[in-house]
A and B are shown apart, each in its own frame.
Chain A
């Protein structure tokens, strides 16, 4: 039977390096994806994910299983991501206005390697690419807290209590936050929603 996250973390605390390896294996992909959707830069997302694991390792001796491991893990990740987003925004303000805007510089990161086989029709591929771009931009346009809430709710499938703890708010405030986020997404993605209705 697989050990729970808390059990693994307690084993890491006791000096078992192999348990840390298991946690790394279990959470590297969800963490990198969460951070990538926050910072929109693959390299930066990986650096931040590595930093999260390092902080987990450093905190092993003081670890107390007072909450779910994922709550703790994604709280660290959220704080790092929000700091990074704010730093990036500050740096972007300093960039010359002559610099060409390239909002989709990292879009290629998500492109599967076998696109030509999956999409023999180049036009269909372009349409799908545009859809993804639109979805990404809709998420990016959300205020920080709403974006974190949507990502943790939709992609990490954390429960409301966990997300509320991560964002330091009440469960009812979180539900309201998520509702507003989905409302914004509904408006932004209205053309795509309408297309789906036609199909």
Chain B
């Protein structure tokens, strides 16, 4: 192992975080390399010095301050939680929704279109009625019928009877 490779393993070696094979490689190198051996010892000494810094404890008010911050947070409630809180409002809202849906559905029912709104349908209807129209045309222009006296009205009949 080279001295350069030791750089990435030296702290792992001191912490005991190396794999067994890596540890053996490092120890083999250290037994033959005085500068790296010295560096390991000095790093170990530095690590020991860092241990000398005492641990501080949070102040007694620390937890209370965190609780106060958390308590001041706005409560987030989802829709289901809101429905659970006010079932009456939820029932009224669902009825309103149901009524709205029903009315909307009812108004959207397709109405039967008028025959003349669609030219194709109008033509078909006219073709069906054509014989009747033809009969009407024939009767209205039928010469023998024109020669007949005009029909007598009911009032005229009653007048004639009174005169008699």
Binding site for B on A (CB under 8 A): 20, 24-25, 28-29, 32-33, 36-37, 42, 46, 49-50, 53-54, 57-58, 61, 109-110, 112, 131-132, 135-136, 139, 150, 153-155, 159-160, 172, 175-176, 178-179, 182, 185-186, 189, 192-193, 196-197
How far does the alpha carbon of A109 sit from the alpha carbon of B126 in the complex, in Å?
105
Chain B residues with Cβ under 8 A from A176's Cβ? 7-8
Option from B45, B62, B69, B70 in Cβ contact (under 8 Å) with A28? B62
Decide: B8 and A175 in contact? CB cutoff 8 A.
Answer: yes
Decide: B56 and A36 in contact? CB cutoff 8 A.
Answer: yes
The count of A-to-B residue pairs whose CB atoms sit within 8 angstroms is 103
User: Would you list 29 pairs from A and B whose C-beta atoms are within 8 A, ordered by A residue?
Assistant: A20-B70, A24-B63, A28-B66, A29-B58, A32-B57, A42-B56, A46-B65, A49-B58, A53-B66, A53-B70, A54-B66, A54-B69, A57-B73, A61-B76, A112-B54, A135-B52, A136-B53, A150-B50, A154-B47, A155-B50, A160-B17, A175-B7, A178-B11, A186-B42, A189-B45, A189-B49, A192-B45, A193-B45, A196-B48
Of chain A, the residue at the smallest CB distance from B7 is: A179
Q: Is the interface of A mostly helix, strand, loop or mixed?
A: helix
A29-B58, A36-B56, A131-B49 given; 8 more Cβ-contact pairs under 8 Å = A28-B66, A29-B57, A32-B62, A110-B54, A112-B54, A182-B11, A196-B45, A197-B45
How far does the alpha carbon of A172 sit from the alpha carbon of B11 in the complex, in Å?
12
Q: For B9, B55, B66, B73, which residue has the most chain A Cβ atoms within 10 angstroms?
A: B66
Of chain A, the residue at the smallest CB distance from B48 is: A196
Cβ of B10 within 8 Å of any chain A Cβ, yes or no, is yes
Cβ of B31 within 8 Å of any chain A Cβ, yes or no, is no
Chain B residues with Cβ under 8 A from A189's Cβ? 45-46, 49
For chain B, the bracket of interface size reads: 20 to 34
Give the distance to chain B from A132, nearest Cβ to Cβ, in Å.
6
Decide: A46 and B11 in contact? CB cutoff 8 A.
Answer: no
Decide: A135 and B49 in contact? CB cutoff 8 A.
Answer: yes
Of chain B, the residue at the smallest CB distance from A172 is: B8
Give the distance to chain A from B131, nearest Cβ to Cβ, in Å.
78
